Amino acid sequence: MGAGTWRVGETEARRTPGEAALGCAVDRTGCTFWLRLCVQPGADSESEGGRWEVASVEGPGHSARKSMSKKVKVYDFETEQVSEIPESELAPGMVIAEVEGVGRVWIEAAKLKRTASFRHPPFRDEARAFLSANIRDKLNEVFPMTLEQWEEGFRRDANPEREIALWFHVARVYEHCLKEFYLHAHQRKELFNVLASCMNSPRGSVFTVTQPLEQITQEQADRAMALYFHWNDAIGDK
């Protein structure tokens, strides 16, 4: 790989000494995550003094209130039909997704069928090292998967750099929450579930599609959601 280039599948971004952006990713709720690699002058890779960061998060002004009258579109994989229901009736485990030939709809995550074929070539060593250190290792206690499983999943995604940025953001917010709250294993799992819902749902629907809280407090869940949607470089000072 040439100096100053980091490649994921078919996508590459060039970086300059001091700081450079890998690019941006827009998640399923419309938030934009800017991911960058900060390196020391003269360094050519992360292992030579670089560090990965989410530079900032930009998103629409989602209302935190649940709209009882708002209608949302739900897609049924078995009947291949789209129906409309009140947003308040969305079941836990539902996520918003772009279904080919249908558009942006709510679906049951458990019924989501991923493509069986790879869309992108194997990742380079630098990308694998990033996944291992910044996503797999940080989330393994609540979302155990091997590095190979992470890579294979991203290689099947239509936009792997976007998905990597989203998961990197989840891992960073999760790690930050663990520094704020003392949580045991079951509480950590529930915290992760809240962050996963943030990744897959508009802010106003997060707690509609999340299982009722049993381990962490509502205050802790609200704090995690606020960190997810309003992250910036100075968040740790707030």
| Same domain as 96, residue 119 | no
Contacts with 17 (C-beta within 8 Å, 6 or more apart), sequence order: 39, 40, 41, 42, 43
CA distance 56 to 171: 15
Q: Are residues 58 and 79 in the same domain?
A: no
Whether residues 91 and 164 fall in one domain: no
Residue 45: pLDDT band (50, 70, 90) is very low
Same domain, 42 and 76: no
| Contact between 216 and 193 (Cβ < 8 Å) | no
* Nearest residue to 167 (alpha-carbon basis) of 134, 142, 189: 134
77 plus 94 within the same structural domain? yes
pLDDT exceeding 90 applies to what percent of the chain?
34
Q: In this structure, are residues 227 and 173 in contact, taking their beta carbons and an 8 Å threshold?
A: yes
Q: Which residue range(s) make up the domain with 100? A: 71-111
Residues 80 and 190 in one domain: no
pLDDT at position 17 over 50: no
Q: Looking at residue 221, what is its pLDDT?
A: 96
206-to-56, 176, 223 alpha-carbon distances in Å: 21, 19, 13
Residue 117 phi/psi, 5° resolution? Answer: -100, 150
Q: Do 17 and 53 belong to one domain? A: yes
Looking at every residue in the chain, the average pLDDT score rounds to 74
Question: Is residue 31 domain-shared with residue 102, that is, in the same domain?
Answer: no
What is the greatest pairwise CA distance in the chain? 58
Number of domains in the chain: 2
- Asked whether residue 86 falls in the same domain as residue 120, the answer is no
25 and 121 belong to one structural domain: yes
